[in-house]
Amino acid sequence: MISDPDDDRVIVASHVHGAMTDVRGRYVISGADFELVTDGSVRSGGRGEAASSLDLLVASLVSCALNAFRYDLVPPGRPERSVEIFARVERDLTADSLGTLILECFFDDVDSITAEDLVDQYKRRCRIYAAVKDSLPIVFIPHVTRA
């Protein structure tokens, strides 16, 4: 459903343009302040060299998590925390599913209970996670490190 442009309850949350390039299977995705080069997968006839659509989906989930983890549950007056995430999608070669996304999250200077709470907060609040979790199972592996 397309909304009425005069409806003040609706915002444009994302505005993206996609275009083919002169290189078969390579595309340019742009917004007002960014430009990305993407490739179709080799399986679908693309080059498979630049970020794929799956890479972009995974990057979206990682970006949301980093944004949430850096500030959520930080007491007032304390600095933002440092978190690093390594993500991978594991797929059975005989399956047509996307596979399972594994997010290994390294939290500096938090205890394991806080790390689990941060993951729970992310799962409850991230709209992208909510939209894809049934099609792309996501497993979080939190690690607590000391900076």
95-136 tens-digit pLDDT: 888 899 999 999 988 888 889 999 998 999 899 999 999 999
Same structural domain for residues 74 and 41?
no
Strands in 83-90's sheet, in edge-to-edge order, are: 83-90, 100-108, 138-145
How many distinct helices (H) and strands (E) make up the chain? 3, 6
User: Is the same domain home to 81 and 126?
Assistant: yes
* Maximum distance among all Cα pairs of the chain, rounded to whole angstroms: 52
Q: Is the CB of residue 131 less than 8 Å from the CB of residue 125?
A: no
- Is residue 147 predicted with pLDDT exceeding 60? no
Mean local confidence (pLDDT), 17-25 = 94
109 and 60 in a single domain? The answer is: yes
Check residues 21 and 145 and name the one with the higher pLDDT: 21
| Residues 33 and 88 placed together within one structural domain of the fold | no
Check residue 65 and give its pLDDT: 93
Close Cβ partners of 61 (under 8 Å, ≥ 6 residues apart): 87, 101, 103, 126, 128, 129, 132, 138
Domain count of the fold of the chain: 2
Final residue in a domain of this structure, among 13, 32, 51: 51
* Average pLDDT for 44-56: 91
pLDDT mean over 76-84 = 86
Q: For residue 86, what pLDDT is reported? A: 97
Same-domain pairing of 77 and 42: no
Q: Rounded CA gap, 9 and 34, in Å?
A: 26
26 three-class SS: strand
- The whole-number pLDDT of residue 78 equals 83
Same domain, 24 and 93: no
pLDDT at 94: 86
pLDDT at 36 over 60: yes
30 and 100 housed in the same domain = no
Rounded CA gap, 88 and 103, in Å? 7
User: What was the pLDDT predicted at 4?
Assistant: 64
For residue 29, what are the contacts with CB-CB under 8 A and spacing of at least 6? Answer: 16, 17, 18, 35, 36, 37, 38, 56
Mean pLDDT throughout 59-88? 88
Q: Which of 91, 89, 101, 98 is nearest to 126 (CA)?
A: 101
CATH number, domain of 77, equals: 3.30.300.20
Do 133 and 78 share a domain, yes or no? yes
**What's the whole-model pTM score?**
0.84
Q: What is the mean pLDDT of the chain?
A: 89
The residue from 13, 28, 51 where one domain ends is 51
Do 67 and 43 lie in a common domain? Answer: no
Domain that includes residue 3, residue range: 1-51
Predicted confidence at residue 114, as pLDDT, reads: 86
One domain, residues 10 and 34: yes
